[in-house]
Amino acid sequence: MTVDEQRIATLLHSASVPEPRVDVARAIRDGRRRRRRRRTGVVAAVTALAGLGVVGAVGLGGAARPPAPDTPSVVAAPTAVASTATAPPVTCEASWLPQPIGGPVAVANGVDPTGRYIVGDIGTGNEDGRVVLWTDGKATVLPAGARHAAAVNARGDVVGTGGNGIGWVYRAGKLRFLAIPPGYEAVLVYALNGRGDIVGTARGARDSHQAVLWSADRPQEYRLVGRPGSAATAITEDGSVVGAMGDLPYRWTPEGTAIALAVPSGVPYASVEAARGEWAVGMAPGERQGGSVRMLPVRWNFTTGVVSLMPFPSITGVAGSGEVLVDDGAPLLVAPDGTSRRLPGRAEVRATEAGTYSAHGISDDAMTVVGAVHEKEAYRPLVWRCHR
């Protein structure tokens, strides 16, 4: 059992609710990803604060996801994608986000498609984190009942999942909780779109699970998506739900039609972790190394049907333009045509040669990226703003 699984299992079993009969370890291993940190330091501190905020797909056959190496040997994407030689005429600058409360672990982990709203967590890293919403740079601390934020939309609605397996939505200054479908005992909330459609996965006894769709306006109403065994990890602006059916990636149209997504050649399964517009990113297994499997990033294009393995250690997001956010200690943005740009650090952090950057969220136009820098045993939230 990983550190994440142990921590979440403890949370669920200690909560003042009936003892769950769900296999919590598998639920967390197969459920929460936006945002498994590939760097050991970030895993230790950020996941302790962000908790359920990072997603993966359900039903990956229990394969481990160790930190990926700097240069994967299984690559199906065009060679140009890995090049950093050409950079588009874009200028970016990193700025600190204000911290309205104290805490050595302060991380921005999501941004809405427009780049106006940013969501994150601040605390000590010991399950005392508070959710913070930054609007045009101004910080608001959400009510204490809001824990482990997963996403924010262009209306400023924020969603997440508490350690007790209850989903929530913060909208227009009010915190409300999401209904748990009958026959299930907990939910994991992953994403929402601009209309306020919220998606997640309900979990029950004997590893039962199914994708669920809620509305931010009517959080006590819901619709089950797909068949039992489905999972939802993302939703696009047109209402398409993206996730998995068993071990395979799937997309459900707004009308409910199920469409299987291709997996890379020779790959037995794949997971979808984020989607924007016609693009999605996730993970697929590569080479086996000893007793573990090397997991590799994948990018899909819904319009063309093309799926590509990406030659990077970790992808944490995708923009509506198709640019992917590579998180490798010095965040990199890579466009569909293979051109790329490295995000700059802060001058005072670069001078110490000790700062490690992590990037977790990206806007639709790829001009706003959010994350944190780890320096002097603390994490500090920041935002990169880019201009052409």
How confident is the prediction along the chain (388 residues), in pLDDT tens digits per residue?
A: 333 333 333 333 333 333 333 333 333 334 444 333 333 233 233 333 333 333 333 322 223 323 333 333 333 334 334 444 454 479 999 999 999 999 999 999 999 999 999 999 999 988 889 999 999 999 999 999 999 999 999 999 999 999 889 999 999 999 999 999 999 999 999 999 999 999 999 999 999 999 999 999 999 999 999 999 999 999 999 999 999 999 999 999 999 999 999 999 989 999 999 999 999 999 999 888 788 888 899 999 999 999 999 988 889 999 999 999 998 888 999 999 999 999 998 877 755 555 689 999 999 999 999 999 998 889 999 999 999 8
CA pair distance 345, 217, nearest whole angstrom: 39
Residue that is written with structure tokens 């895993």 in the block: 43
CATH of the domain at 135: 2.130.10.10
Where do runs of H (alpha helix) occur along the chain?
Answer: 3-14, 24-31, 40-50, 347-350
In angstroms, the Cα distances linking 344 to 5, 31, 355 are: 34, 32, 12
Residue 29: φ, ψ to 5°: -60, -40
Handedness of CA 379, 45, 55, 215 (dihedral sign): negative
- pLDDT for res 1: 39
* CA–CA separation, 261 and 58 (whole Å): 15
pLDDT of residue 352: 54
- Name beta bridge partners: 96: 382
Please give the residue range of the domain that contains residue 291.
3-387
Q: What is the pLDDT of residue 290?
A: 80
Q: How many domains does the chain have?
A: 1
User: Can you give the pLDDT at residue 43?
Assistant: 29
Give the E-state strand segments of 290-330 in sequence order. 292-301, 307-309, 315-318, 324-326
How far, in Å, CA of 312 to CA of 297, rounded?
7
- The answer to whether the beta carbons of residues 231 and 246 sit under 8 Å apart is no
Residue 284 token pair: 């697929």
Q: With contact defined as beta carbons under 8 Å apart, do 263 and 270 qualify?
A: yes
Residue the block writes with tokens 């026959």: 183
Distance CA 127, CA 148 (A): 9
Identify whether the C-beta of residue 234 lies closer than 8 Å to the C-beta of residue 244: no
The two tokens of residue 292 are 């573990």
Query: Which conformational region is residue 239 in: left (phi greater than 0), alpha (psi within -120 to 50 degrees), or beta?
Result: left
How far, in Å, CA of 17 to CA of 24, rounded? 14
Q: What is the pTM of this model?
A: 0.79
Instruction: For residue 323, give the amino acid letter.
Output: E
φ, ψ (nearest 5 deg) of residue 307: -125, 135
Residue matched to tokens 């005072």:
348
Q: What angle do CA 240, 56, 14 make, to 5 degrees?
A: 115
Mapped onto helix, strand or coil, the DSSP state of residue 382 is strand
The CA-atom distances, in angstroms, between 89 and each of 74, 294, 339, 384 are: 31, 35, 11, 16
What tokens appear for 205 in the block? 């006894």
In 3D, which of 105, 109, 112, 145 has the Cα closest to residue 33? 109
Compute the distance between CA of residue 21 and CA of residue 36 in angstroms, rounded to an integer: 25
